[in-house]
Structure 1
């Protein structure tokens, strides 16, 4: 779950990471009131779950409360990469002497948290990695050993921070960032830029914070931060129905049971010359109602022109899946062609059920590749 900047900063603040004072606003009037409370120049920041706000005109300086109100009028309703601005963060403006970059993410390849630090902050980290790879310091943390202060010192000295006061402050922030990462079950904690003010104070000027969805049950206060209006409506519907669903940009709807098989199905559709419209995992023990729920989600996507069911019966029984398909066809009046491949537990019984029912536009294929080719053909 991605958090807005102001939400991520609240978690930073709880972990003891210095951040600028700010107020949330949803109207120009609220922006003016926030600026009056904060006093002095403020920055009006669009709150969207994507990058590139500044380049899109979503971050503007306001020297007075009246200016903050006018800037808010310009930003509210702005479309930034498909995200319409509905919230603003009104933050006390900070003078900037230096900009650094600091992040902690989970490296799936190494199965360890990964720190990244560079003195070239304020730009995309991908740009730094491509143009100045030696300026980017990387350091893994063994989760069994945990974080140690020497790791912060290695990052700071490796990045070339020369000022002793800055080194001490950044090292402290690194330790607190690790604490926030672990405490809130994060997948990403990024500060870009981590600024140094002319007075020598180091603080987080921005926040990107991603929390592992699977751990939200441990953090009900963080779970309440989810903005349901900002979520993809299909993915939100899937979440309600406890279906694992990721929307893609193709025409072939994909439904499998188990993450590994479903990922393979997406690959096979691509191999067959088609474009998958989604990743939809029924789960290892899906029943008839689960099939109905998954089909309801997939068919809400107007891009889908054909659906490919790929079921291997282990825990899931293929006859139960077949009944679910027929039940779904009866309940939601499906008009799209469906290609079904059944294998494993009760596969022959499942195929028999579908053959005898003989619903229109339903095709049963013996292998995964043949089924993928048929689905791609029907999608055209």
Structure 2
């Protein structure tokens, strides 16, 4: 589950991670009031207004039809009002959203951290995620923070450092100090950085994060270390332990069909193709998508009905696929191990009869437990369903359907 920047920062504060303070706002009027509060509370001369969407690249992205970036500096209440008016309700297109963009429903009005002081400011990059090849969490960091970290990784990979953390011992003190040293810090900034990294790692583990990224990790002119931006992803399987975090889920940021699929415990990801597929098991689903591609089609979705599928879940999956107007054919590819093929067949029949007026080809390949019973059910149903035994036969039928 992805979180907005303002939500992630509030969670970090519970772990004593210093962050750039800000106020989330739903309207331009709220944003203007937030600016006045921040100006008084923190003595900021400026404020930063940030669009709150689940996508990166907001600083370079722009609102459709308006000369407005997703992140902008405001020097007055009037500036804040204008920027927030352009952002809220607008569609922000970034490198991560694609051409469709995402609608901005909230903005974060944040304090200015570029205030004057005795030392120069500096932007770093730091993230924590799981390195599956080593079975350990890894802290990735760089002296080159800011919006172009992807370019740094591509052009100068030697500037990207990695520190692996053994799961048995957790982050050690010497590792936190090593990170601060490699970032070129000293004195008070060095001490603050080691505390920051330690507390951030505790937050990553304590919140069951899948990914936690701070970009930029900022050194102020008085040597404070703070998180200016934060991207946080929580492991869905751990949400049962974090009811407060689960309550932060923003369904408006997610695809409606994926949300609906989640209600039936279906693993569904919407794609842009023309062949809908329903499969049991992630591996078989990936192989089926490859087969669709090789047959001349394009997969319209990834749908894994799981090992406990029944007629109800299959019908739900069928309905979700049918909602995509781009779908020209549906391929159902089930290998009955735990799941019984006759249950899947009954789900197909129920969905077909319930939905009605289905005018696209449906190709069904059922093998494994009770496959013979499943074939008999479909054959005797009188439905216009094409059956296949071999995967190659199913591929040929898919190719003909989309030709």
Aligned partner of 1:348 among 364, 372, 386: 372
Specify the alignment match of 1:47 in structure 2: 52
**Would you say 1:84 and 2:103 are equivalent positions?**
yes
Specify the alignment match of 1:338 in structure 2: 362
**Would you say 1:104 and 2:116 are equivalent positions?**
no
Aligned partner of 1:121 among 145, 153, 162: 145
**Distance in structure 2 (CA, Å) of the matches to 1:72 and 1:247:** 31
Shift of 1:160: 4.2
**Distance in structure 2 (CA, Å) of the matches to 1:152 and 1:70:** 42
For the Cα contact (< 8 Å) 1:45–1:58, is it kept in 2?
A: yes
For the Cα contact (< 8 Å) 1:272–1:369, is it kept in 2?
A: no
**Distance in structure 1 (CA, Å) of the matches to 2:376 and 2:236:** 40
Range with greater deviation from structure 2 (223-232 or 72-81): 72-81
For the Cα contact (< 8 Å) 1:285–1:316, is it kept in 2?
A: yes
**SS of alignment partner, residue 279 of structure 1:** strand
Shift of 1:335: 3.0
**Distance in structure 2 (CA, Å) of the matches to 1:153 and 1:205:** 21
Q: Tell me how large the CA RMSD over aligned residues is.
A: 1.4
Shift of 1:314: 1.3
Per-residue displacement from partner, 1:202-248 (whole Å, max 9, x unpaired)?
11100000001111111111111111111101101111222110111
Shift of 1:122: 0.4
Specify the alignment match of 1:64 in structure 2: 76
Aligned partner of 1:227 among 250, 267, 270: 250
Shift of 1:316: 1.3
For the Cα contact (< 8 Å) 1:308–1:372, is it kept in 2?
A: no
**SS of alignment partner, residue 357 of structure 1:** coil
Specify the alignment match of 2:261 in structure 1: 238
Specify the alignment match of 1:93 in structure 2: 112
Shift of 1:79: 1.6
Specify the alignment match of 2:285 in structure 1: 262
For the Cα contact (< 8 Å) 2:215–2:227, is it kept in 1?
A: yes
**Would you say 1:36 and 2:41 are equivalent positions?**
no
Gap change, CA 1:229 and 1:351, over 3 Å in 2 = same
Range with greater deviation from structure 2 (226-235 or 64-73): 64-73
**Distance in structure 2 (CA, Å) of the matches to 1:215 and 1:336:** 39
Shift of 1:270: 2.0
TM-score by length of 2: 0.91
For the Cα contact (< 8 Å) 2:127–2:212, is it kept in 1?
A: yes
For the Cα contact (< 8 Å) 2:296–2:402, is it kept in 1?
A: no
TM-score by length of 1: 0.96
Specify the alignment match of 2:401 in structure 1: 378
Specify the alignment match of 2:98 in structure 1: none
**Would you say 1:183 and 2:206 are equivalent positions?**
yes
For the Cα contact (< 8 Å) 2:276–2:331, is it kept in 1?
A: yes
* Equivalences for residues 280-299 of structure 1 within 5 A: 280-299=303-322
Unpaired stretches in structure 2, ≥5 consecutive residues: 62-68, 94-100, 116-120
Shift of 1:376: 3.3
**Distance in structure 1 (CA, Å) of the matches to 2:141 and 2:122:** 14
Specify the alignment match of 1:15 in structure 2: 15
Shift of 1:80: 1.8
Shift of 1:286: 0.7
Specify the alignment match of 2:343 in structure 1: 320
For the Cα contact (< 8 Å) 2:295–2:398, is it kept in 1?
A: no
Shift of 1:336: 2.3
Specify the alignment match of 2:85 in structure 1: 73
Gap change, CA 1:111 and 1:124, over 3 Å in 2 = farther
